[in-house]
Amino acid sequence: QKEVEQNSGPLSVPEGAIASLNCTYSDRGSQSFFWYRQYSGKSPELIMSIYSNGDKEDGRFTAQLNKASQYVSLLIRDSQPSDSATYLCAVKGAGTASKLTFGTGTRLQVTL
Amino acid sequence: GAVVSQHPSRVICKSGTSVKIECRSLDFQATTMFWYRQFPKKSLMLMATSNEGSKATYEQGVEKDKFLINHASLTLSTLTVTSAHPEDSSFYICSARDPGKTYNSPLHFGNGTRLTVT
């Protein structure tokens, strides 16, 4: 079983729509959750971090965390063509020695 | 936010040669840096954790003699791919954690190095 799972996509949404990206993780003790955006050929860029159950909003982005279901999602409102990228979910377990584990990413395509 | 600079951004080398990649933390001190590798259409895989003033911690399956890591100062970590082979061709990315934050704060990544071994 993969530690962090994402649908590879591509997820295609029209410009202006809401894009919903999902991620599940296997380590129930995980404490920290991150969404990164990665454009082709570039390194990942942090979009959101979330540590507590519930929603966290930042501009057009909303991260949602449900630890009981071991599920974290990212919503992108008013999707723009510039949002087209691969979105990586990353999860960190408890403790200083735990490492950050990445999902394989979901490719998002925002169409005109 | 924290800025991590990585150099070179792209390198092409011949099989059997060694390549050094530098990772610098700008405007902050990083006692720990992380080296990742990413193959096409795959996720980031942690190779090793670089510790200032001490030996790096390598992930299972990563050859420490092949991927030499040196973290001699609080702002610089280097990864040397020794005796490179075509299968080492990949995207190598270093990262560091927000300075002054807790252990669960996000990582910030350098721009990555695209290594092609011919």
**What does the pLDDT read at residue B53?**
85
Cβ of residue B108 closer than 8 Å to a chain A Cβ:
yes
Token readout for B85 is 């082979």
Percent of chain A with pLDDT over 90: 82
Cβ of residue B62 closer than 8 Å to a chain A Cβ:
no
Residue B8 preceded by cis peptide, ω within 30:
yes
- Residues B21-33 pLDDT 10s: 999 998 888 888 9
| N- to C-terminal Cα separation, chain A | 37
**What does the pLDDT read at residue B83?**
96
Residues of A in contact with B44 (CB under 8 A): 44, 88, 102
Task: Select from A35, A43, A86, A102 the residue whose CB has the most chain B CBs within 10 Å, as the one to mutate to test that interface.
Answer: A43
- Nearest-angstrom CA–CA distance, A54 and B38: 31
**What does the pLDDT read at residue A70?**
96
Query: Helix, strand or coil for residue B56?
Result: coil
For chain B, give the mean pLDDT: 91
- Residues A8-55 pLDDT 10s: 999 999 999 999 999 999 999 898 999 999 999 999 999 999 999 999
Residue A10 preceded by cis peptide, ω within 30:
yes
- Band (B100; pLDDT cuts 50, 70, 90): low
Burial of A16 (0-12, 13-18, 19+ CB in 10 A): exposed
